[in-house]
A and B are shown apart, each in its own frame.
Chain A
Amino acid sequence: MAQLVGYGVYIPRLRLAAAEIHAAWGRAGGRGEKAVVPPDEDPLTMGVKAAQAALAQAGVEGQQLNTVLAASTSTGYAEGALAAPLAYHLGAEGDVLVGDFGLSARSATAAIRAAMNALISGRGEYGLVVAAEKLIAEPGSSYELSYAGGAGALLFASQGQGGFAEIVGFAAHTSGFVGRSRREGRFHGLVDERFVMQQFLAHTQGAVERLLDTTGITREEVTHIVVQAPEGRWAARALKKLGIPPERLASTFPQVGYAGSASLLIDLAWALERSNPGDLIVAVSFGPGGSDALAVRVTKPPPGADVEAQLQRRERVSYPVYLRYLGLLGGERR
């Protein structure tokens, strides 16, 4: 199977406290904060930075990439590629397979699977997967508490290139369930969240159980688990349902919030940064259409990264400035 040779993240340093959002809407309380994407950053700029971190970590040049796959649901374009300009900024052009994955927050795992397939089928030595998001929630809605932005990247190499971890299993749990969705140029429509959560639990459980069944991995062997959950409390519920102890959860949700497809790669990077040889990381995505679960076996000490440093590197923004940065306050600045 494909080897993992690099990982990187980009977490915007601006943060908005949940308590600030609550206060603005006349509500009490609120815990944690979320990463705020500044007005001059988007999935491309963030994706390039996460990818550069992964390449630098592995000592691989952009020109060496044979495959570049990008996942995002929030580029803001109905047409306008992400993977190709990303590859181009990194120095890869010409005979480079690119692919854009979107329309579901689940799509980061589809991009990982596709990159693995490309390597297994002999398409060159290096494949890069990037997920980057700039989610914008309707002010006052419950989604506003968590919708955030950021990017993560994984660099894969074909067998024989070395590497510190490998993907040892992959399972899908696909259905026709959509849940949260968004029309072009609109905010996400509000749906029955209790029902979405039930479906989230069913799909994540379905994917992880299939992964364990097909690989023979036991629950006890899982040292870290990443659960891509759009709400803070959902991941813990998923673990309870799976019978995996809560302390195994690797989640940046309290600092970053929910960054859609990017959350899976950011949390996976955070788990890798703190992992040791022999560890087994399970990551499960969720979005319209279901879930995918993958198992990563750490074989050597993962090279150092700056995930924790980026989580710590933070500057608070106020609620009105946040609204202005996302273009939600209205009017031209004077």
Chain B
Amino acid sequence: MTAPEVWRIARENARLVGYRCTQCGWVAFPERKRVCKRCRAAPADFEEVKLKPYGQVLSYVVQHRLPAGFETPLPLAVVELADGPRVYGHLVECAPEDVEVGMEVEADLRVMYEENGARVYSYKFRPRSLEPSRGGS
């Protein structure tokens, strides 16, 4: 089954849906907030936005010591999506030595882990390709 905590943000996670503050434009992701983190509007009025599935690497680390089940060295990045939200994600299809701050990346749906016989999906990031048909809409 889909665990409640997974289901709660499944929609946002599956479709990269965020919530934009109608006062100042700040975008909350993946969870809808009550208070806007930027303009402090409380309760803030949020509208749903479909996030663009790409952004830039803001910072990154390369993990060398991880428990069984992970491929190391594993680059992990803080990515600023084009619509503003910052997310933490694995980088795939990219050698650790090729990662750079400012690198353009796109969201890539992957299996994150398996729980009670069900796979749980989320986005990792990979170097952005400029082919028009990739990366979704």
Contact = CB atoms under 8 A, between A and B. Distances in A.
Nearest to B119: A42
Contacts of A85: 14
Contacts of B70: 333
Contacts of A44: 109, 119, 121
Most-contacted residue by chain A among B109, B118, B131, B135 (CB, 10 A): B109
Contact of B121 (A45, A56, A305, A315): A45
B133 A40 contact: no
Indicate the size class of the contact surface on chain A.
20 to 34
A61 interface: yes
B133 A8 contact: yes
A48 B137 contact: no
A56 B14 contact: no
A332 B112 contact: no
Most-contacted residue by chain B among A40, A306, A309, A334 (CB, 10 A): A40
B93 interface: yes
B92 interface: yes
A61 B68 CA distance: 39
A52 B69 CA distance: 29
Contacts, number: 70
Interface in A301-334: 304-306, 309, 315, 332-334
A130 to B, nearest CB: 13
A332 B68 contact: yes
Interface in A27-46: 38-42, 44-45
A294 B108 CA distance: 33
Interface in B91-137: 92-93, 108-112, 117-119, 121, 124, 131-137
Nearest to A49: B109
Nearest to A79: B117
A37 B51 CA distance: 27
B109 A80 contact: no
Indicate the size class of the contact surface on chain B.
20 to 34
Nearest to A76: B119
Given A88-B14, A91-B15, A333-B68, A40 B110 contact: yes
A49 B70 CA distance: 23
A56 B93 contact: no
A333 B69 contact: yes
A334 B68 contact: yes
Given A45-B109, A332-B68, A306 B134 contact: yes
B134 to A, nearest CB: 7
Contacts of B119: 42, 44
A309 B124 CA distance: 22
Contacts of A39: 71, 111
Contacts of B118: 80
A13 B93 contact: yes
Given A13-B93, A44-B119, A61-B137, A56 B132 contact: yes
Nearest to A7: B133
A62 B137 CA distance: 9
A61 B93 CA distance: 27
A248 interface: no
Interface of A: 8, 13, 38-42, 44-45, 48-49, 52-53, 55-57, 61-62, 80, 85, 88-91, 304-306, 309, 315, 332-334
15 contacts: A8-B133, A13-B93, A42-B111, A45-B109, A52-B136, A56-B136, A57-B133, A62-B15, A306-B131, A306-B134, A309-B131, A332-B68, A333-B69, A333-B71, A334-B68
Task: List the 5 closest pairs (A to B, CB-CB), nearest first.
Answer: A52-B136, A40-B110, A332-B68, A53-B133, A306-B131
